[in-house]
Amino acid sequence: MQRPFVHPAVEDVTLESILYALADPTRLEIVKKLAGGSCGMNCSMAAPADLPKSTQSHHFQVLREAGLIRSERRGTEVVNALRCAELEKRFPGVIASILKASEKTKKR
Amino acid sequence: MQRPFVHPAVEDVTLESILYALADPTRLEIVKKLAGGSCGMNCSMAAPADLPKSTQSHHFQVLREAGLIRSERRGTEVVNALRCAELEKRFPGVIASILKASEKTKKR
DNA sequence: TCAATAGTTCGAAAATCTTGAACTACGGAA
DNA sequence: TTCCGTAGTTCAAGATTTTCGAACTATTGA
């Protein structure tokens, strides 16, 4: 827990890592939830309720390393936030259109 | 080879299957190549040159079942084409923005 | 009819993912 | 301050996916 989080610079974020991160249903779920709330969210808040913590942790790591989220330790918890603005600048429309599409799709 | 190809109806295509299919570097490469040419392309044409045929075949199957491409047998070969228009209607901007982003990224 | 081309199928080795168990860090209570 | 609970991480191994060689099928052209 002491190791600081590593976030890639926006210019180092690759499209592929983004797609890879979003291709997992659980991670897409997390991203959707983060996109919903305006401010950051801790891990257990953003992840599906029944997901084992070790799996949670793994998914957040993938999202972080892909450059999709920014994580910050706040006491005992970790606050995660989507890097929307930066990513929109780097890959215009990609995240936005995916999030929009995912909203339309979810009511099923 | 006799089995006919199965293509999902547009309305059955899921965002997740699309993202999953595109998240693989090889498959993204294939999709980019298909998006480049205006008409269909056979498998070996669209796939990276050195990719084993069995792997090729697998990737095309994934793309097909995800709903990204439509494949048709033409004599001994299979002609593949992106289902752009349909997908644009179902998931506006998703494929387009990804393709655009991938162009920007590729020059490296 | 035969050979060549284009792709598919199968099975097994290699690579990834998932998760329980044990652990670390921090904050609050006593 | 020490102890407990909460939040998250790490590790290792079992489960799942991917990859790809080898053998196969279909179709075309000679």
- Per-residue pLDDT of chain B in tens (108 residues, 90 and over written 9): 467 899 999 999 999 999 999 999 999 999 999 999 888 898 888 999 999 999 999 999 999 999 999 999 999 999 999 999 999 999 999 999 999 999 877 544
Q: What is the pLDDT of residue A37?
A: 84
The answer to whether residue A106 scores a pLDDT higher than 70 is no
**Would B68 be classed as within a structural domain?**
yes
Amino acid letter, residue B65: E
- Read off the pLDDT band of A108 (50, 70, 90): very low
Q: Is the CB of A54 inside 8 Å of chain B's CB atoms?
A: no
Q: What is the pLDDT of residue A42?
A: 86
pLDDT tens column, A26-43: 999 999 999 998 888 988
Structural domains in chain B (count): 1
* CATH code, domain carrying A44: 1.10.10.10
Q: What is the pLDDT of residue B107?
A: 44
Q: What is d(CA A98, CA B15) in angstroms, rounded to the nearest whole number?
A: 8
Smallest CA-to-CA distance from B41 within B7, B72, B87 is with: B72
- Closest-CA residue of B relative to A25 is B16
CB B81 within 8 A of CB B24: no
The answer to whether residue A1 scores a pLDDT higher than 60 is no
**Would A2 be classed as within a structural domain?**
no
Query: Count of alpha carbons within 13 Å of B16, Cβ hemisphere only?
Result: 10
pLDDT tens column, A42-87: 888 899 989 999 999 999 999 999 999 999 999 999 999 999 999 9
**Would B1 be classed as within a structural domain?**
no
3-state secondary structure of B16: helix
- φ/ψ of residue B84, rounded to 5: -45, -60
Q: What is the pLDDT of residue A40?
A: 87
Domain extent at residue B86? 10-101
Residue from the list B15, B97, B105 with its beta carbon closest to the beta carbon of A102: B15
Chain A residues lying within 8 Å of B25, measured CB to CB: 16
Q: What is the pLDDT of residue A39?
A: 84
Q: What is the pLDDT of residue A87?
A: 97
**Would A78 be classed as within a structural domain?**
yes
Q: What is the pLDDT of residue A4?
A: 86
3-state secondary structure of B2: coil
Contact A28 B22 (CB under 8 A): no
Contact B15 A97 (CB under 8 A): no
Smallest CA-to-CA distance from B22 within A53, A20, A36, A33 is with: A20
Smallest CA-to-CA distance from A21 within A76, A59, A75 is with: A59
**Would B106 be classed as within a structural domain?**
no
Residue from the list B19, B25, B93 with its beta carbon closest to the beta carbon of A23: B19
**Would A105 be classed as within a structural domain?**
no
**Would A107 be classed as within a structural domain?**
no
**Would A4 be classed as within a structural domain?**
no
Q: What is the pLDDT of residue B106?
A: 57
